[in-house]
Chains A and B, each alone.
Chain A
């Protein structure tokens, strides 16, 4: 007994010690390898030069545009006309009688109150920027170019000047004088004109006024109720294009829905052909599996490009691209699910004398449906996200709006709006697919 007992014990100790040693070596080796790889990436991606290439001023514009908007007060040098417009766009132009109260004109002198004591005045070709604590910066347009005088000790990095243009940035806003125009940018928090544009009768009304108007107010347009007018003014907002954005979101979801649903419908019969327990022919099985591998291997990107050539830009092309990719992945997943079904249930049904179709219906399908549904719903959720990217390539849906807004590089408040909507959409789809999974599969409440 003792002889038999000790011999394996010694082996065991050596074995454990060896395993521990190996584990200890691995726990140093793997982090070391990861570090070496990251070091290689550091040089391959030129991360060192990144700081030099990064445009932090772009980041600043982006961040400020995300939560604020700017109003331009522009004096045209040739005509002498002054205009006040949100983001300097014609769509956001204030008519003369609706100027905000921080712009005043007395005896031809324009006074712009930027808040906290910062004031800009335009007097002909001269603009004076009064900054509390620093003094007055005077910028003048002369026939030889634009000149400026700053008080002593004024920080130089707040002024960028050339012969053609002088720009001064204060704590509350910015003044820029060029040969063609004098312009002041006043930053205010929020997304202006999000609900109603300036030409709308509802512009500038508080929520309480709006509710009163909607419920009991005099009809502004005798043709329709105030609430209906309000809805149409909001829906057709020319600054934020709510109607187009809603249409784009709908297109994106449509792409995901059509692609996923049709992909699943096409993949199901093919998956039966690829499952080893249902299709006895090895050749058919092998061929089907290679088809799935091929479809998944030719990436969604390539399918998208090929389809875009045939069908042109739009949501249908995106839906077809999702469809083809999903046929590949559903085919694989479904056939694996089919192979994993429990044979006992089928056997039980067989024992009652059921034929092949009945065995399928009562033995296979009830086991299969929950698994397939859950896979399809997961895919639907993740395809909503893919539809955003595919939309950017094929030109449809919210992905297209987003890329267009980013390419123009100035409508960052639109970009923020779209990003917010995309995130909300994906989260909503996530909860919808989770809710449906619970409802349809577990039959729960």
Chain B
């Protein structure tokens, strides 16, 4: 019986020369890899040449000027080193604003993302026909860079932290929504079925059946987003309004004479980002693995 299954049509054909076939495939694969690598390197080289040509200053000229600006800034700051602790204290309120922008936008974005993710996950959606709609809207939210929304909103709402907050929240809702929905897709549906059998509403099924399963992963993603959003909020301040990024831009515009402020802001930003990174990565391993590293 088994022989019939293994070889349904025995023939007189000689067995294929496995070794030759294998080597041929290996050669073919190697050729493909080589061709891909060549294309990639060519793209890289021509891309570099194109970028270099379109840049105001060339790469090789700029390379040895790289240290000029940092050394200029640092030497001036070193001369005024006594003033720096005071300056750092002066900029703490702006830093708090930057962190607040990131925190609020992560919070609001994550809440919107929860709703969007549940509505667009197969098997969980409230209205299964509309999943595509919610998914596409998440794609659109994610595709809009924060700076676009922020600049348009600054024109309408004026300066301040609110445009940056809305801009980051919109992007966060899209980005987290996608990740949340990927996690929710893998959730066990048995608790949901159980809740359905006792007549739970959609909200109850989600709150009691799905959220407890996915909460650790979701929280971990949200924490990572908070890290990203702190950086985004600093950058948006520089381009548009609000927070420590704006102070940095003003200090930079003054140029020489205000470099001690620039250094104070650099230091504050650096320390904040490192601290938030450390805290968030500690809690993320705790959430996902159940124990700290």
Determine whether B92 belongs to the interface, using a CB cutoff of 8 Å to chain A: no
> How many CB-defined contacts (below 8 Å) exist between A and B?
176
Residues from chain A with Cβ under 8 Å of B114 in the complex: none
Asked if A312 CB lies within 8 Å of chain B CBs, one says yes
CB distance from A396 to the nearest CB of B (A): 7
Q: Is the CB of B157 within 8 A of A293?
A: no
Q: Which residues of A388-413 are within 8 A (CB) of B?
A: 388-389, 392-393, 395-396, 399, 402-403, 406, 409
> B239 contacts A54, CB within 8 Å?
no
> Taking A301-B231, A302-B266 as contacts, is the C-beta distance between A385 and B160 under 8 angstroms?
no
With A305-B252, A406-B152 known as contacts, the answer to whether A251 contacts B54 (CB < 8 A) is yes
**Residues 48-86 (chain B) with a chain A CB within 8 angstroms:** 48, 50-52, 54-59, 62-63, 65-66, 68-70
Nearest-Cβ distance from residue B54 to partner chain A, whole angstroms: 5
* Chain A residues whose CB sits within 8 angstroms of the CB of B66 once the complex forms: 306-307, 310
B19 nearest CB across to chain A (Å): 17
Q: Contact between B157 and A406 (Cβ–Cβ < 8 Å)?
A: no
Contact A315 B65, beta carbon cutoff 8 Å: no
Q: Give the Cβ gap from B25 to chain A, nearest Cβ, in Å.
A: 13
A311 B59 Cβ-Cβ under 8 A: yes
CB B7 to nearest CB in A, in angstroms, measures 28
In the complex, the answer to whether A300 meets B160 with C-beta atoms within 8 Å is no
Set of chain A residues within 8 Å of B56, measured between Cβ atoms: 311-314, 395
CA A217 to CA B178, docked complex, whole Å: 51
Q: Is there an interface contact between A389 and B239, defined as CB atoms closer than 8 Å?
A: yes
Residues of A within 8 A of B100 (CB): 41, 44-45
Q: Which residues of A contact B238 (CB under 8 A)?
A: 301, 393
Whether A46 and B231, one on each chain, are in contact in the complex, defined by CB atoms closer than 8 angstroms, is no
A184 beta carbon closer than 8 Å to chain B: no
Chain A residue contacts of B55, Cβ below 8 A: 311-317, 396
Taking a contact as CB atoms under 8 Å apart, the answer to whether A257 and B161 are in contact is no
Which A residues from 115 to 130 make CB contacts under 8 A with B?
none
Which chain B residues lie closer than 8 Å to A309 at the CB level?
A: 65, 68-69
Which one of B180-188, B190-198, B270-278 contacts A? Answer: B270-278
- Selecting from B118-126, B127-135, B136-144, the interface stretch reads B136-144
Interface SS majority for chain A: helix
Residues in chain B near residue A262, CB distance under 8 A? 44
Would A389 and B252 be within 8 Å (CB), given that A41-B100, A296-B273 are in contact? no
B48 touching A258 by the CB < 8 A rule?
A: yes
* B206 CB within 8 Å of chain A: no
Residue A84 at the chain B interface, CB threshold 8 Å: no
Inside 8 A of B158's CB, which chain A residues have their CB? 53-55
B147: nearest residue on chain A (CB-CB)?
A389
Q: How far is the CA of A58 from the CA of B59 in the complex (A)?
A: 42
A298 touches B270 (CB 8 A): yes
Within 8 A of B (CB), among A23-42: 34, 37-38, 41
- Chain A residues, Cβ within 8 Å of B277: 293, 296-297
Instruction: Indicate if the CB atoms of A45 and B161 lie closer than 8 Å.
Output: yes
Q: Is the CB of A427 within 8 A of B48?
A: no
Known pairs A50-B157, A314-B54; A306 contacts B59 (CB<8 A)? no
Contact A300 B252 (CB under 8 A): no
Flag if A62 contacts B51 (CB, 8 Å). no
Tell me which of B107, B148, B236 contacts A419 (CB under 8 A).
B148
B residues near A (Cβ < 8 Å) are 40, 43-44, 47-48, 50-52, 54-59, 62-63, 65-66, 68-70, 97, 100, 103-104, 107, 139-140, 142-148, 151-152, 155-158, 160-162, 165, 231, 234-236, 238-239, 245, 248, 252, 266, 269-270, 273-274, 277
Q: List 28 A-B contacts (CB under 8 A).
A: A37-B104, A41-B100, A45-B104, A45-B165, A46-B160, A54-B157, A62-B155, A251-B54, A255-B51, A258-B44, A258-B48, A296-B277, A297-B270, A300-B235, A301-B245, A310-B57, A310-B68, A310-B69, A311-B62, A312-B57, A316-B48, A316-B51, A316-B52, A316-B54, A389-B147, A393-B238, A422-B144, A426-B143
Question: What are the 4 closest A-B residue pairs judged by CB atoms, nearest first?
Answer: A314-B55, A312-B56, A312-B57, A311-B62
